[in-house]
Structure 1
């Protein structure tokens, strides 16, 4: 690619520095402009990260230098802003979740198809070196045929550190919609589409207390289920046991992600990151760390870079809207099954795409 794809960022809040920094790692993209409802914040980010322009949202959407718009607004605005981006004739990439309900998620996918444009969505952590190495090992039969796995996220709740955590405990919040995207995206990348879910869930605490920041000591009324236990069936025949919880007090010794195969198991690192040990255990053997076959610096924005390269190469990008919608659909199924007490069939699907080529970081990734 002779010239990087121009990126415009809408939303300059807490997550944006990770993208501003991450974008500098990839020659495929360049952030050329940023925007926020708070113009002073946008100007501050532009100065902090040496971005040429800080403008209004309307100006950004009209900017001819911008080919892809990164949507870092709050979740309720992801789908509406994505629609505005597509209507402006630009490709859209947003933070997770893809939408707040299935209907608006489908509307975004249909509009992109109608316009001949692309949509993408975080998390892109499944493109990290250890997790892409895991994908390559599974594809090559390194652990035999994968037949199961576990996924565990458990903590005492985000009110311990977040300055304004109330939205985590209202309808539309909770550990599944907040944290499951990282885990379920990795599992979908390894196993393919999920086909059904059966779940149980509860709310352990009716009230939470903010532990830090200007709201310290204030009480939060909990409206959503905060401890979800799910069994997820995948199209390749694998069965995954998953726990997503804001109610586990103190430390726990549960593995974050494990894949069981007929010839051995893989232990994967934190899917909400870009590094960590990848381990294998065969019958009768202890865990041993596996060297990454993909070895490149990772940071949020790798999904954007893959999207930019895919546009130029005329291929599908990996962190695409169909995958993001399927993960979102699976999360909603986990919550719906818990509320109804019934197994929920998952109607959405996506096309599995190849792993990133093995690389030592010197050659182009895409």
Structure 2
């Protein structure tokens, strides 16, 4: 078994090969990877069966087993996802700014690959293929450290991708599944500041805080999604109700689901009975403030912990606030900089909400569930950043590049002799 540093150095060398490819060649590489995954379906499913048997023997919950399980349809979706990334616009080489000075010096800002990405995740095995495709699309190499519960599946998928890379005369190490799965190996990987250019931990808050504590490399962080809906006094109640139900009940265990409902006092008597009936019909447990409890039969009193909680379940905190400023103050106190929603009929109120909050995504009269890379036009998403680095919010292939200056001249010097 190679050391973590040996794997990282090999990935860096292979990443340079990927960076030197033009966009058409990188797309051809991704299409070859997709075809190889199709060809290796039997091996991937056999590896997944090993992971499933081990997880079942440990008494893993049914919901987690479903996240782990692969079948022919899920492998086909994984293949389709890689092909979809191949069809996205090429972010590498984009000129984002260009100026020509009076002396003729041409100054450009150009997107280039980051280099080596470390992806640490607790998720479905398909993330292995998704992350690899996005990183290679942007000209990078990637070191993958998936959860130990999916180690056989992840290794089989990475090996399949590696065969496609080799067939295209690119080092298989451009997609490296970390061989050493000890927790200490994550720490070592996160401290290779001379090799790893960016780390993206994707999973529960515990994993991300662990990564943040030990990282010496730039780290994309997204601890949790405490997303709010504020129903302004001018809101259309039917519109606001649609946003509430979609945001809270369609997939409550995702990070862009609503966790807290804030309602302007002037519309509370009109809106809250509608909200209570709709939430009750969908099995949502409510933690309500004193001003709203009478509208929710059987609700529990909301606590400070409830307002800061990411429930990831059919549980919702509710609070009546005096005005927009009170809603903004609440979000500043308890929010996680992920996604905030305002339902309002007043453009001035919407603009104040946008300007006063610093969250990565602000929705005006639209569901929080649109806070997703695919929905926001990125094509695919490698993660969500609530860290103010080069990327903020949902991240796609473009976020796996950086901008550098390219300066072209005809012999200009700063200090003529």
TM-score range for the pair, normalised by the shorter chain length: 0.3 to 0.5
TM-score (norm 1): 0.35
Bigger Rg, structure 1 or 2: 2
TM-score (norm 2): 0.32
Structure (1/2) with the larger helix percentage: 2
